[in-house]
């Protein structure tokens, strides 16, 4: 399946979503590719229910509500969302059109590419348990998403950092029971939060234990087996396992795009956000230049900068008239966003 647009955006995090609006204001049609099934990047995957306080003009907004607003702001421009697909390759035709190919064999033809790839394509750090993939997204999870997913469940949380401790305290409010398993006796989290967890009668703490096996049928857990290193094992009845060993980002798929990558970031010219490859721009957390701040608001400004720079490539010879959104307005919404998933 092919999609023809003016600008291909890799990454549906907050910055990629705002780039749809920034491009749309300049008359450029967009497709947004993301390896995750849901838009929102880190906001959706890591902290949907946390309030954010430094979005200009919003004194306090939950991360999931900001994603909803960004989708609504993008909607009049009818972007093509290609979700659950990794952007894997980028070739160029003889007339300078980019062809971005996804893991699901979609091809996006575009005159410019905006990389809003954050820390790269997210993947969880999985515990090495036999058959774990059959349980994933049914009863084994690597991020919380929405709390009500765990309502009334016997939940086992594995991990020893801030996330494990904070989520144990939070999910104890909705789960039937919470057991926290960590392979050390000490936690890498705020001491006050650890003390609160240890004092909470709704939370059972098992240390120093590690996960050794899953027991269940058709992806639905019945119990998790845990063991002490070189010692005795235990079976903990559980309906859900939340394994919080962190997510790792992988810029790997972009390595062969002919774009200079420096570690986990892509150096850009701050005036245009253009990378070392002409016509490919990087914005948001993945973009690097002297003085760069990894903040959502910085990424929003970069999206506008890159859209303005891409205009000349998308519409060669056309003059870009600088106008405010109050003058341009937005198209009448047709409620016609195109979501495609793998």
Ligand X SMILES: Cc1cc2nc3c(=O)[nH]c(=O)nc-3n(C[C@H](O)[C@H](O)[C@H](O)COP(=O)(O)OP(=O)(O)OC[C@H]3O[C@@H](n4cnc5c(N)ncnc54)[C@H](O)[C@@H]3O)c2cc1C
Q: Which is nearer to ligand X, 52 or 99 (CB)?
A: 52
Q: Which residue is nearest to ligand X (CB)?
A: 118
**DSSP structural state of residue 332:** P
Among 74, 87, 268, 309, binds ligand X (CB under 6 A): 87
Judged by DSSP in three states, 143 sits in coil
Q: Which is nearer to ligand X, 145 or 208 (CB)?
A: 145
Q: Which is nearer to ligand X, 8 or 214 (CB)?
A: 8
For residue 221, CA distances in Å to 19, 205, 246, 328 come to 41, 20, 22, 54
Determine contact, residues 213/227, Cβ cutoff 8 Å.
no
Determine contact, residues 188/164, Cβ cutoff 8 Å.
no
Footprint of ligand X on residues 231-250 (CB under 6 A)? none
Interaction between residue 52 and ligand X (CB under 6 A): yes
Structure tokens of 134? 């059959």
To the nearest whole angstrom, how small is the minimum distance from the Cβ of residue 270 to ligand X?
Answer: 16
Interaction between residue 284 and ligand X (CB under 6 A): yes
Interaction between residue 14 and ligand X (CB under 6 A): yes
Interaction between residue 144 and ligand X (CB under 6 A): no
Among 156, 165, 197, 296, binds ligand X (CB under 6 A): 296
Interaction between residue 48 and ligand X (CB under 6 A): no
Burial 274-298 (b: 16+ CB within 10 A, else e): bbebebbbbbbbbbbeeeeeeebeb
Q: Which is nearer to ligand X, 211 or 303 (CB)?
A: 303
Q: Which is nearer to ligand X, 157 or 238 (CB)?
A: 157
Phi first, then psi: what are they for 341, rounded to 5°? -125, 165
Contact code string over 249-278 relative to ligand X, x by CB under 6 A: ----xx------------------------
To the nearest whole angstrom, how small is the minimum distance from the Cβ of residue 123 to ligand X?
Answer: 9
Interaction between residue 216 and ligand X (CB under 6 A): no
To the nearest whole angstrom, how small is the minimum distance from the Cβ of residue 41 to ligand X?
Answer: 2
Q: Cα dihedral sign for 153, 154, 157, 163?
A: positive
* Distant-in-sequence, close-in-space partners of 49: CB < 8 Å, separation ≥ 6: 62, 63, 64, 144, 146, 147
CA distance 171 to 267: 40
Interaction between residue 116 and ligand X (CB under 6 A): yes
Q: Which of 263, 281, 246, 80 is nearest to 158 (CA)?
A: 246
- Residue ranges that bind ligand X, judged by CB under 6 A: 10-16, 33-36, 41-43, 46-47, 52, 54, 86-87, 116-122, 253-254, 284-285, 294-297, 299
């Amino acid at each position: 399946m092919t999609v023809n647009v003016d600008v291909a955006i890799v990454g549906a995090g907050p910055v990629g979503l705002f780039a749809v609006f920034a491009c749309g204001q300049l008359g450029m049609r967009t497709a947004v590719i993301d390896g995750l099934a849901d838009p929102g990047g880190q906001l959706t995957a890591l902290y949907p229910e946390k309030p954010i306080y430094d979005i200009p003009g919003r004194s306090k907004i939950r991360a999931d509500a900001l994603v909803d607003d960004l989708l609504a702001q993008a909607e009049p421009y009818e972007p093509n969302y290609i979700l659950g697909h990794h952007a894997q390759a980028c070739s160029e035709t003889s007339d300078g059109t980019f062809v971005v190919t996804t893991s699901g064999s979609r091809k996006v033809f575009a005159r410019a590419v905006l990389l809003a790839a954050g820390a790269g394509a997210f993947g969880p750090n999985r515990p090495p348990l036999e058959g774990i993939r059959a349980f994933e997204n049914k009863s084994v999870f690597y991020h919380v998403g929405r709390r009500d997913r765990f309502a009334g469940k016997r939940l086992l949380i594995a991990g020893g950092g801030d996330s494990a401790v904070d989520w144990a305290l939070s999910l104890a409010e909705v789960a039937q029971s919470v057991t926290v398993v960590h392979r050390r006796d000490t936690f890498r989290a705020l001491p006050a939060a650890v003390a609160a967890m240890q004092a909470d009668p709704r939370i059972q703490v098992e240390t120093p234990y590690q996960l050794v096996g899953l027991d269940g049928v058709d992806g639905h857990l019945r119990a998790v087996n845990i063991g002490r290193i070189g010692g005795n094992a235990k079976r903990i009845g559980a309906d859900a396992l939340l394994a919080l060993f962190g997510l790792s980002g992988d810029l790997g798929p972009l390595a062969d795009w002919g774009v200079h990558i420096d570690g986990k970031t892509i150096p850009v010219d701050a005036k245009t956000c253009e990378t070392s490859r002409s016509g490919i721009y990087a914005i948001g957390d993945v973009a690097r230049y002297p003085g760069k701040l990894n903040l959502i608001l910085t990424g929003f400004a970069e999206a506008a900068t890159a859209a303005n720079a891409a205009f000349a490539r998308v519409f060669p010879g056309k003059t870009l008239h600088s106008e405010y959104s109050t003058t341009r307005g937005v198209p009448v919404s047709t409620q016609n966003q195109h979501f495609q998933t793998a």
